[in-house]
Structure 1
Amino acid sequence: MSDLSQKDIAKRALGLVDLTNLNDDCTEADVSALTSRTVTDHGSVAAVCIWPKFVAQAVRELSGTGVKVATVVNFPAGGTETTAVVAETKKAIEDGADEIDLVMPYRGFMEGRKGFAEEQIIRVKEVIPAPAKLKVILETGEIKDPLLIHLASEIAIGAGADFIKTSTGKVPVNATLEAAEIMLTAIEEARRDHQKDVGFKPAGGIRTVDDAAAYLALADKIMGHNWVSASTFRFGASGLLDALIGEIEGSGATAGEGY
């Protein structure tokens, strides 16, 4: 899979983590606990991903660290009316969010309302000023059909996504290597055919160094070995960081429960 050792893989993956708490019972204290873990002895994670109401707090606590603040909109069901999603996005940007993770209205998309899904992504993108980023969550475990996952990827990319993301972490099937391969292929096609650079974020259920290694190997295979960086690839995870640090330090720590 890779010539790198497990420790090397862990070092590579650490800076790609979006350290996440999207638990329904998340508190201000939980967010502080999360932000306190972002800068480690082995480097910083890429971002924290938290509920919109905690964005301003996270921005304050991470000031000067270089760690981005990501939040979610239209989350997790992907069914909110577009005007409300745009308003939610504007508020998050005003509060200082660097990245918006938007759940594509995937149920409407699956019912054939592709234009509705596309328009919502376009309208959300319009209110996200550079250098802030838009990540579009496809919810591939609910879409299931490989052709529809590919089409959803194409629509999101065409509508302005800076990243496409597998999952919310809130459904029975979240990130899978099968969905990742389809999405990365769509990203490579966009790069080849339209000179458009789009990132990839697997999220939900990624908890071990072996999990991380498998996704990194797939990205290297499809996109090339020099493609993966924090600007193009993220892991959405809560428990992965402990496993990575445990591997780097040789303590054998395992990942915690969670997203």
Structure 2
Amino acid sequence: MDNKNLAQKAISLLDLTDLTDTCDDAAIEALCKRARTFYGNTAAVCVWPRFVAKARECLKGTTIRVATVVNFPHGGEDLFVTLAETELALADGADEIDLVIPYHAFMEGRRGFAETMVERVRAAVPAPTKLKTILETGELKDPALIRAAADMAIDAGADFIKTSTGKVAVNATPEAAEIMMEAIAESGKAVGFKPAGGVRTLDDAGTYLAIAAKYMGSDWATPETFRFGASGVLDALLAEIKGETAKAGEGY
């Protein structure tokens, strides 16, 4: 696949994201406008829960999905608050829920607690709404712990496993992606993968798509099975398609 086709494919797999502290209605309007490009729409926009209804309004008449985050970004342990966030987001029209697992509890050996949260949120998220679980692999660090978290999330019913919040020092890495894709392949389940945080260039996108192809085949990555969580990469992808000087994007 040449670079222009790779860039266009990556756009179709993008969760265009604004999870900044300064986000407001005007920023959501701009985000939703950016999601509709001359070269195709992004798969989704990912926004704070309080902006789900606004994003839904802005994207009316398109196939772009609205994703939001719960238990974000710290992966807390209040199950009832997380369920309330989820239910409100669904009522406002969210198509996808990105749940941060309580990774501190998981690291401390309370893996059953983390599993229970995923299972309870899964039960609150009816199909076809997607549940994407954020493992925060840059904090888990240990490959064995990353694999255990991936296996847990898959077994608990996640539709996707996602590397990161984009809010910690180390976010998506190829090493974590390898571990997570291997877990998906070995599970035999229809589970997707989402690298998030630090995906800023076409080369970054190509690296993660190559890892997915290694485990699942070159045709596996579609919007139903693979997403990039990013805000800054879109400009670089568009520049590649238009033959302009590509700049590494900034942000999530």
Verify same fold: TM over 0.5: yes
Decide which of 187, 191, 195 is 1:190's aligned counterpart.
187
- Render the CA deviation track for 1:91-140: whole Å, top value 9, x for unaligned: 00000000000000000000000000000000001111111000000000
What is the Cα deviation at residue 6 of structure 1?
1.4
> Contact 2:134–2:163 (CA<8 Å) still a contact in 1?
yes
Decide which of 182, 203, 214 is 2:196's aligned counterpart.
203
- Cα distance in 1, alignment partners of residues 243 and 159 from structure 2: 35
Structure 1 residue 243 corresponds to structure 2 residue 239: no
- Cα distance in 1, alignment partners of residues 180 and 249 from structure 2: 27
Q: Which amino acid aligns with 2:155?
A: G
When normalised by structure 2's length, the TM-score is: 0.99
What is the Cα deviation at residue 201 of structure 1?
0.1
Decide which of 7, 10, 20 is 2:7's aligned counterpart.
10
Q: Which amino acid aligns with 1:186?
A: A
- Cα distance in 2, alignment partners of residues 45 and 36 from structure 1: 11
What is the Cα deviation at residue 5 of structure 1?
1.6
Q: Which residue is 2:251 aligned to?
A: 258
Decide which of 35, 39, 48 is 1:51's aligned counterpart.
48
What is the Cα deviation at residue 255 of structure 1?
3.7
What is the Cα deviation at residue 12 of structure 1?
1.3
Q: Which residue is 1:96 aligned to?
A: 93
> Contact 1:241–1:255 (CA<8 Å) still a contact in 2?
no
- Cα distance in 1, alignment partners of residues 110 and 48 from structure 2: 27
Task: Write the mapping of 1:163-242 to structure 2, written as runs, cut at 5 A.
Answer: 163-191=160-188, 196-242=189-235
Q: Which amino acid aligns with 1:97?
A: A
Structure 1 residue 63 corresponds to structure 2 residue 56: no
> Contact 2:201–2:249 (CA<8 Å) still a contact in 1?
no
- Cα distance in 2, alignment partners of residues 123 and 55 from structure 1: 21
- Percent of matched pairs sharing the same residue: 61
- Render the CA deviation track for 1:204-254: whole Å, top value 9, x for unaligned: 010000000011111111111111100000000001111111100111232
- Cα distance in 2, alignment partners of residues 161 and 252 from structure 1: 38
Decide which of 92, 104, 108 is 2:105's aligned counterpart.
108
- Cα distance in 1, alignment partners of residues 248 and 13 from structure 2: 16
- Cα distance in 2, alignment partners of residues 243 and 65 from structure 1: 23
Q: What is the total number of aligned residue pairs between the two structures?
A: 252
Q: Which residue is 1:28 aligned to?
A: 25
> Contact 1:18–1:46 (CA<8 Å) still a contact in 2?
yes
Unaligned runs of 5+ in 1: none
- Cα distance in 2, alignment partners of residues 233 and 222 from structure 1: 13
Q: Which amino acid aligns with 2:207?
A: A
> Contact 2:69–2:97 (CA<8 Å) still a contact in 1?
yes
> Contact 1:246–1:253 (CA<8 Å) still a contact in 2?
yes
Provide runs of 4+ in structure 1 moved above 3 Å.
Answer: none
- Cα distance in 2, alignment partners of residues 256 and 248 from structure 1: 15
- Cα distance in 1, alignment partners of residues 19 and 246 from structure 2: 23
Q: Which residue is 1:134 aligned to?
A: 131
Q: Which amino acid aligns with 2:227?
A: R
**Secondary structure of 1:36 counterpart:** helix
Decide which of 55, 74, 95 is 2:71's aligned counterpart.
74
What is the Cα deviation at residue 184 of structure 1?
0.3
